[in-house]
Amino acid sequence: MSSIIGAPLDRVIGPQKVSGTAKFAAEFRLPNLAYGVIVTSTVAAGRVLRIDTSQAELAQGVIAILKPGNAPEIDPKGSENALSLLQDDKVHYNNQPIAVVVAERLHQAQYAASLVRVEYQEQTPKLDFLAGFPDSHPGSHVGSPGDKSFGDFDAGMRQAEVKIDQVYTTPIQHHNPMEPHATMAEWQGDRLTLHDATQHISGVQETLAKVFGIPRENVRVISPYVGGGFGCKGTPWSHVVLAAMAAKQAQRPVKLVLERPQMFGPVGARPRTHQHITLGAARDGKLTAIRHETHAHTSTIEDYLEASVFPTRLMYDCPNISTISRIVPLNLGTPTYMRAPGVATGTYALEVAMDELAYELKMDPLELRMRNYAEIDPETKQPFSEKSLRQCYQRAAERFGWSKRKYEPRSMRDGHLLVGWGMATETYPGRHMPANALVRLLPNGRALVLCGSQEIGTGTYTIMTQVVADVLDMPPDKIDAQLGDTDFPEGPLSAGSMTVASISPVIQKAAEEVRSKLLQMAAADAQSPLDGAAPNDIGFKDGRLFLKSAPAKGENYSALLGRHGNQPLEATAGSGEVKNNPSINSFGAIFAEVSVDPDLCIVRARRIVAVYDVGRIMNRKLAHSQFIGGIVWGISLALFEDMAVDPRTGRVMNANLADYHVPVNADIPEIDVSAMDIPDPHLDSYGARGIGEIGITGTGAAIANAVFHATGRRVRDVPITPDKLL
């Protein structure tokens, strides 16, 4: 393959992003556009007795007000999620959509919405997480059961000479992308066009078609740019359907953008977890048993399982592993996938427990992990498709200087500050999904690649460009990548670190077919310098065909196509159904240094070193950015994020970016990341596994372990805030 694969090619959409010409969902202009504003509930459980809209209807510019009783009837069962679509008067959580005001201008809709008065018949909400444990029940995650065991846990614990038995907790955390959820809906007869901030245009298309009872091809979804999603834009939420309902009622296009406080509840979050971990080991550090039991909250209207126990099944060589998952229904909005769902919270708990075991054994935490290194998948007993975690440990430890670490807590200082070093293992599954793509070589010497995927900030446009440039040996600036439109060949969901592994092979296949057609055309063209040449004797370079034995003898792609009616050459390719192998996983090693002020108990991350084994690196610059982004999220999990819920009303008390704390530049230290760059041929033709999420996994534990090393205090409930160290 050419050097374009793996090269640090700049983002091809960089100029559009920095110049402001990249249009996001709320930035498209439509004639006669109206504006919608959602009214949300102020109670967590009960019924809406009456919605008084009399004053709102008199406000200037008001076009329509949708509420239960006058909203268009639709089929709410058309969605896989339980949505709030104004079809009944039930209230299941605080901040639930209960009405929509449509007006000529945004400020008019906002003012009119403030005039809506609601009477409720309140019920006592279920908001006590721990008290809900007796009513919890099992669940599954993407079809995989939350409960799974192998070996004999009890026998393994009887063999254990050293034991750890602790509970680790994580709070509710919110995605908070800079771009809020936004939808613009326009009807033309029974055809619906949506501009939507989504990670899955095809999923939105399918849901809206089912809800409104129209053919799928009658729904077009457009989303060329997404300003962050991290999972909360992976499935259609209530506001998407409500925007389309409002447009139908108003008989004109409607734009509906969620206000920041409305993004706490109606569009998902990472659920709260309570993780009970039991470890048993021999005196030499060899694990004899692991038990990981997780309780996580869900809503009262549907189940969502945070798969925190899943990584425990594969991370270490242990013959007896028991994993148990329970869901606790609460009157809160339905949780959803949040970057590295389950794995981020699960690795936090397991890796802190492993650190505790290392101290109980008086063993170096890295040595403990090396002694329990899994050469094969402990659950399936199959070899991993490719695993170089041992090399990750060694390289990261060397770059960090781990050998200089003093073992005892509170033994390292920098002047007045306590200094701590911690480490952890990182992992994330390698997966792919069905995908389709079209590649078209144009007579003007340019190439076009189309895929109905999404650009969520990970660099998909750039990877699409690199794959076509690789196969057709063309300069990247001669290739136009387009995505984010359901009129294009259907692409996969942009989630689960699956996009590159899903779309790259089909783009490669389509481009190879175009190349084959080009070769055949040249060899059969009496006017071509390559007439009669065997396909294997023809080479490609910089948009030119030439005879390998006589490189001067050749012609440009455009010259060849020009003699054939100036018609483009194109091909489509698809992967069909795919089967994901559970023994395909990425791994990493992360080392962290923190400082702690012993008087104020303020924790600062000072230095991070991480090395990853994620298959082939398709673009070094994009990969570097993704790794750092994930690590920032892991730091945030450990030190900052915590949603505060009023235990009486279910109202989120910090539903804004001022009070919901996330790290800023000043909170992020020097980050040294690298990758092994070893292709994994078992997942896709390029050997690339996804990298968007692995950086979060383990990072929270590495920070927490470093805090213990600095202070001697073990905080098992993140975020680690000063009050927990006092």
Residues of the chain short of pLDDT 70, as ranges, are: 1-2
For β-strands 90-91 and 46-52, DSSP reports them as antiparallel
Tell me the residue length of the chain: 726
pLDDT at position 102, please? Answer: 98
Tokens describing residue 617: 């690196």
415 and 437 in a common domain: no
**Is the residue at 144 inside a domain?**
no
203 and 185 in a common domain: yes
372 and 334 in a common domain: yes
654 and 546 in a common domain: no
Cα 75 to chain center, whole Å?
A: 29
Distance (Å, whole) CA 338 – CA 273: 13
pLDDT at position 170, please? Answer: 98
Angle between helices 201-212 and 238-250 (to 10 degrees): 50
Residues 6+ apart with CB under 8 A from 107: none
**Is the residue at 322 inside a domain?**
yes
On whether the CB atoms of residues 184 and 26 are closer than 8 A, the answer is yes
560 and 518 in a common domain: yes
Distance (Å, whole) CA 446 – CA 401: 49
Collapsing DSSP to helix, strand or coil, 37 comes out as strand
**Is the residue at 170 inside a domain?**
no
Q: Write the pLDDT tens digit of every residue in 119-155.
A: 999 999 999 999 999 999 999 999 999 999 999 999 9
Instruction: Quickly count: other Cβ atoms within 10 Å of residue 653's Cβ.
Output: 13
634 and 504 in a common domain: no
Q: Which residues are catalytic?
A: 693
Tokens describing residue 641: 């994020």
**Is the residue at 4 inside a domain?**
no
Collapsing DSSP to helix, strand or coil, 321 comes out as strand
> Across the beta sheet with 447-451, what order do the strands follow?
479-483, 447-451, 436-441, 569-574
On whether the CB atoms of residues 450 and 438 are closer than 8 A, the answer is yes
Angle between helices 499-523 and 460-472 (to 10 degrees): 30
Tokens describing residue 183: 């939808």
**Is the residue at 292 inside a domain?**
yes
**Is the residue at 138 inside a domain?**
no
On whether the CB atoms of residues 272 and 330 are closer than 8 A, the answer is no
> Across the beta sheet with 585-596, what order do the strands follow?
413-414, 417-429, 585-596, 603-613, 670-675
669 and 593 in a common domain: yes
For β-strands 321-330 and 413-414, DSSP reports them as unpaired
> Comparing C-alpha atoms, which of 405, 443, 435 is closest to residue 423?
405
Distance (Å, whole) CA 183 – CA 175: 18
On whether the CB atoms of residues 228 and 338 are closer than 8 A, the answer is no
Q: What global pTM score does this model have?
A: 0.97
CA atoms in the 13 A half-sphere facing the CB of 82: 18
**Domain end among 543, 574, 605:** 574
> Comparing C-alpha atoms, which of 125, 54, 136 is closest to residue 95?
125
Backbone angles phi, psi at 643, to 5 degrees: -85, 130
Distance (Å, whole) CA 645 – CA 648: 9
- Domain of 198 in residue numbering reads as 32-124+178-228+233-263
Distance (Å, whole) CA 564 – CA 572: 21
Distance (Å, whole) CA 640 – CA 718: 8
Go through 72-101 and write b for each residue having 16 or more CB atoms within 10 A of its CB, e for each that does not.
eebebebbebbbbbbeebebbbbbbbbbbb
Nearest-Å Rg of the Cα atoms of the chain is 27
Domain count, the chain: 3
pLDDT at position 1, please? Answer: 42
**Domain end among 539, 574, 609:** 574
539 and 455 in a common domain: yes
698 and 601 in a common domain: yes
Distance (Å, whole) CA 302 – CA 327: 10
292 and 392 in a common domain: yes
Q: Write the pLDDT tens digit of every residue in 397-451.
A: 999 999 999 999 999 999 999 999 999 999 999 999 999 999 999 999 999 999 9
Distance (Å, whole) CA 497 – CA 693: 6
Q: Is the peptide bond before 719 cis (omega within 30 degrees of 0)?
A: yes
3-state secondary structure 294-319: EEEEEECCCCCCCCCCHHHHCCECCC
445 and 424 in a common domain: no
Supply the DSSP symbol for 500: H
Distance (Å, whole) CA 222 – CA 212: 18
- Positive or negative, the Cα torsion across 680, 682, 687, 689? negative
CATH of the domain at 110: 3.30.365.10
**Domain end among 530, 549, 574:** 574
Query: How far is the CA of 323 from the CAs of 153, 156, 295, in angstroms?
Result: 10, 14, 11
**Is the residue at 165 inside a domain?**
no
Go through 697-719 and write b for each residue having 16 or more CB atoms within 10 A of its CB, e for each that does not.
bbbbbbbbbbbbbbbeeebbebb
Distance (Å, whole) CA 103 – CA 36: 7
Please write down the long-range contacts of 522-530, taking CB distance under 8 Å and 24 or more positions apart.
522/555, 522/560, 525/560, 525/563, 525/564, 527/563, 528/555, 528/560, 528/563, 529/553, 529/554, 529/555, 530/554, 530/555
Distance (Å, whole) CA 351 – CA 705: 8
Query: How far is the CA of 48 from the CAs of 41, 284, 319, in angstroms?
Result: 9, 62, 54
Distance (Å, whole) CA 431 – CA 88: 39
On whether the CB atoms of residues 173 and 166 are closer than 8 A, the answer is no
591 and 720 in a common domain: yes
**Is the residue at 66 inside a domain?**
yes
